[in-house]
Structure 1
Amino acid sequence: SALSDQKAEYLMAQQLQRWGREVLYEESLAITADILKLR
């Protein structure tokens, strides 16, 4: 049904957003570590 399709799309979007935030967080940690190493 259309409703279950919408729910699946919503859940997928939530999951993608969560992954995106985790990747950004890890990248910023790595960049911070690099900056600290350069000092």
Structure 2
Amino acid sequence: MKRLFQIFGGGLGWSLGGPIGALLGVALGNMMHDLV
């Protein structure tokens, strides 16, 4: 399940800010998963 959040966050981040955005998106996905 956590992987799903990482892929979603990474894809969203990539579309916004390229590689750096993708890294931030994956980190955000991890945090969202921990909150849920």
Return the TM-score normalized by structure 1.
0.46
Greater Rg by CA: 1
Using CA pairs under 8 Å that are at least 6 residues apart, name the structure with larger relative contact order, 1 or 2: 2
